[in-house]
Amino acid sequence: MTTSVLITGTSSGIGRATALRLARRPELTVYATARRPETLADLAGAGARVLPLDVTDETSMAKAVAAVEAEHGAVGVLVNNAGYGEYGTIEETGLDGVRRQFETNVFGLSRMTQLVLPGMRRAGRGRIVNVGSMGGRIVFPAGGYYHASKYAVEALTDALRFEAAPFGVKVSLIEPGLIRTSFGDTAAHTLAGSAAPAGPYAALNVAADRQMAQSYGSKILSASPETVAKAIEHAVTASRPRTRYVVTPAAKALIHTRRLLGARIFDAYLRMQFKAAA
């Protein structure tokens, strides 16, 4: 009997790469999901099963979990991957957009977790892999609301790991650095639309936009989605998965630098970086 793996947000980027990688493993039955399942034809061709799933819609989430449970009894592995970045300064960013982001990045992840856990507890086993970000450990200007959503994922994952352990459920957190997906373009788009060109934060927004473009375009600072998919594969299949997987050398260096230097020195580092980008 194969283990079922339900992955959210597989229409592009990390989710797509993960579905393709896991679908190659004969012991796994991969359920690739997206709001528009017609975008997943290539994943179906690679052996994944395709389901519609919108993590901001209760009915959609419940139906997807029920479909997997009807065939397997329980969801064997949940990979909470769906997410995006709403960028802009704290003062200027519209809170409607922030709420939409939290619905996807935090509440959708939480509700999917709630839906699969009863089945996992009955089965006495299961795995939940949350895709967070290095942005849950460090903060860059003009990204506060996105970082807040990923800090929330950190907290939820740490609590869940302890709570679910007695029931045989293992929980891991994936913390990617800069990954070459459409995420950077989405973040830049929301940043551009968050403030007036002549507003008080105009110079900061321009610098942040350029910094993102340069960083995501760097093959030294960024990595491919397949790099993250490999870490997720380990979390899904290893007998003793890690609690955290920090992905990319640059992410590891930045997290340790922030921890070692403290807030004031890290702020000084940021001022240098954003001045160079302006």
pLDDT value of position 205: 87
CB-based contact 170:65 (threshold 8 Å): no
pLDDT (mean) for 263-269 = 92
Q: What is the predicted pLDDT for the residue at 110? A: 98
> Which residue of the set 84, 87, 146, 245 is catalytic?
146
Look at residue 195 in the predicted model and tell me its pLDDT.
Answer: 64
* Band (139; pLDDT cuts 50, 70, 90): very high
Q: Output the average pLDDT for the chain.
A: 93
pLDDT digits 0-9 by tens, 213-263? 888 878 788 899 999 999 999 999 999 999 999 999 999 999 999 999 999
DSSP letters spanning the chain? -PEEEEES--SSHHHHHHHHHHHT-TTEEEEEEESSGGGGHHHHHTT-EEEE--TT-HHHHHHHHHHHHHHHSS-SEEEE-------S-TTTS-HHHHHHHHIIIIIIHHHHHHHHHHHHHHHT-EEEEEE--GGGT---TT-HHHHHHHHHHHHHHHHHHHHHGGGTEEEEEEEE-EESSTHHHHHHHHHHTSS-TTSTTHHHHHHHHHHHHHHHH-TTTEE-HHHHHHHHHHHHH-SS--SEEEESHHHHHHHHHHHHHHHHHHHHHHHHHHHHH-
**8 A C-beta contact, residue 80 and residue 106:** no
Q: What angle do CA 161, 8, 249 make, to 5 degrees?
A: 65
Residue 274 confidence (pLDDT): 80
| Whether the predicted pLDDT of 122 surpasses 90 | yes
Rounded average pLDDT over 106-121: 98
Task: State the pLDDT confidence band at 104, using cuts at 50, 70 and 90.
Answer: very high
**CATH superfamily of the domain spanning 3-277:** NAD(P)-binding Rossmann-like Domain (3.40.50.720)
pLDDT at 146 over 70: yes
Span 170-199, average pLDDT:
76
Cβ atoms of residues 159 and 117 within 8 Å: no
* Per-residue model confidence as pLDDT tens digits over 40-79: 999 999 999 999 999 999 999 999 999 999 999 999 999 9
- Catalytic residue status for 145: no
Q: Which band of pLDDT confidence, cut at 50, 70 and 90, is reported for residue 190?
A: low
> Is residue 72 a contact partner of residue 123, using CB atoms and an 8 Å limit?
no
Mean of the pLDDT values across residues 151-168?
98
Provide the whole-model pTM: 0.93
Domain locations in the chain?
3-277
Determine what percent of the chain is predicted with pLDDT higher than 70. Answer: 94
